[in-house]
């Protein structure tokens, strides 16, 4: 049975003492060399993974002249925060940032309600037609309408320029649905039966017994959904016609697209580099919430994936 307690600790399975822990034989010299090489390689891989972020921070705090000269790599040169003032003074940036927060909250709420109710119902083995309902969901992972029919539909429903164009077409991720379903399947039947004897309806059981004891999986799902909505840009790019409606990702996309066209046209070097600096600052401000939260919530993501893949 999965309890809230061990869901949060599922990820620790990943790093539980490895299978080689019992060591009666001494390592051969060859293996000792391998271990040193292996650890070194992993440090290099971690360094390469982090480098783009380090470079981003360095460029964000550097002056255009030094970026222009190709001298900014690990550390800012010509330290200044004027571009920060410039970007943060742009009311459209903040407007779009607010939109991102709003879209993420609404879309995540809708997604959670739909995913939770569907997952709970199809987690009941005795439900007639359960397999059909699961099939309806799973089939969409392998085949879907494609870009144009979806586009036509959203326009036809009049969802353009509203949060619903972002929230509704992506309301259920089948992956998340299956994760929740497998969690509910392992929920204590005794508890639910006891609640039933006490006269609770299905709604009552879900609301008062199951959900309060599923906080960990709910937190994981909220994180999955909110990160994906926070990061999304394409739906807004397709369906939002006014600058005031863009999320910050589309703001950033337009900035990058503009900058590259200057780059490609070999325009004035100065214009290109100002763009590079502004770009760096905007990118930094966009990723900041995620990078700051990430170390604290990472384990939930890992446990969510484990829950979806490992047989309990």
What is the maximum span of the chain, computed from C-alpha positions, in angstroms? 77
| Residue 246 backbone class (left: φ over 0; alpha: ψ -120 to 50; beta: rest) | beta
Among 87, 112, 235, 278, binds another protein (CB under 8 A): 235
Please report, as residue ranges, which positions from 252 to 291 form the binding site for another protein (by CB under 8 A).
Answer: 252-253, 256-257, 259-261, 263-264, 273, 276, 279-280, 283, 286-287, 290-291
Give me the 109-148 binding string for another protein, x by CB under 8 A, dash otherwise: ----xxx-xx-xxx-xxxxxx---xx-xxx-xxxxxxxxx
- If one asks whether residue 294 binds another protein (CB under 8 A), the answer comes out as yes
The distance of closest approach from Cβ of residue 109 to another protein in the complex, given in angstroms and rounded to an integer, is 13
Contact 173, 186 (CB under 8 A): no
The distance of closest approach from Cβ of residue 5 to another protein in the complex, given in angstroms and rounded to an integer, is 19
Please report, as residue ranges, which positions from 10 to 29 form the binding site for another protein (by CB under 8 A).
Answer: 13-22, 24-25, 28
The distance of closest approach from Cβ of residue 244 to another protein in the complex, given in angstroms and rounded to an integer, is 19
Burial code (b: 16+ CB inside 10 Å, e: under 16) for 281-307 equals bbbbbbeeeeeeeeeebebbebbbbbb
Among 87, 112, 171, 274, binds another protein (CB under 8 A): 171
> Smaller CB distance to another protein: residue 89 or 264?
264
> Smaller CB distance to another protein: residue 40 or 85?
40
CA distance 209 to 203: 10
Half-sphere exposure of 181 (CA within 13 A, CB side): 23
Please report, as residue ranges, which positions from 210 to 229 form the binding site for another protein (by CB under 8 A).
Answer: 224-225, 227-229
Tokens standing for 122? Answer: 């199809």
DSSP state, residue 170: T
Tokens standing for 96? Answer: 């779009």
Interior CA angle at 187 toward 181 and 191, to 5°? Answer: 140
Tokens standing for 235? Answer: 């739906």
- If one asks whether residue 97 binds another protein (CB under 8 A), the answer comes out as no
Q: Is 233 helix (H, G, I), strand (E, B) or coil?
A: coil
Among 9, 51, 215, 244, binds another protein (CB under 8 A): 51
Among 87, 112, 206, 210, binds another protein (CB under 8 A): 206
CB atoms within 10 A of CB 158: 10
Give me the 59-78 binding string for another protein, x by CB under 8 A, dash otherwise: x-------xxxx--x-----
> Smaller CB distance to another protein: residue 67 or 87?
67
């Amino acid at each position: 049975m999965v309890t809230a307690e061990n869901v949060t600790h599922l990820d620790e399975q990943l790093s539980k003492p490895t299978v080689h822990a019992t060591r009666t034989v001494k390592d051969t010299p060859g293996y000792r060399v391998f271990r040193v090489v292996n650890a070194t390689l992993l440090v290099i891989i971690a360094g390469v993974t982090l480098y783009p972020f380090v470079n981003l921070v360095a460029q964000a705090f550097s002056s255009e002249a030094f970026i222009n000269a190709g001298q900014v790599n690990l550390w800012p040169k010509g330290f200044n925060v004027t571009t920060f003032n410039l970007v943060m003074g742009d009311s459209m940036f903040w407007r779009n940032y607010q939109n991102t927060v709003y879209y993420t909250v609404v879309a995540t709420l809708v997604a959670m309600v739909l995913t939770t109710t569907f997952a709970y119902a199809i987690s009941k083995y005795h439900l007639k037609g359960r397999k059909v309902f699961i099939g309806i969901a799973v089939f969409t992972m392998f085949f879907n309408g494609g870009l144009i029919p979806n586009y036509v539909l959203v326009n036809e429903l009049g969802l353009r320029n509203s949060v619903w164009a972002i929230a509704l077409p992506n309301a259920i991720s089948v992956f998340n649905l299956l994760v929740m379903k497998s969690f509910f399947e392992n929920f204590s039947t005794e508890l639910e039966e006891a609640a039933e004897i006490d006269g609770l309806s299905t709604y009552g059981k879900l609301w008062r017994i199951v959900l309060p004891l599923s906080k960990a999986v709910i937190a994981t799902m909220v994180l999955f959904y909110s990160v994906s909505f926070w990061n999304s840009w394409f739906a807004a790019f397709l369906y939002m016609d006014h600058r005031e409606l863009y999320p910050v990702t589309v703001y950033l996309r337009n900035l990058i697209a503009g900058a590259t066209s200057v780059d490609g046209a070999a325009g004035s070097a100065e214009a290109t580099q100002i763009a590079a600096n502004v770009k760096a600052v905007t990118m930094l401000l966009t990723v900041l919430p995620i990078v700051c939260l990430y170390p604290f919530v990472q384990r939930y993501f890992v446990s969510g994936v484990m829950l979806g893949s490992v047989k309990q």
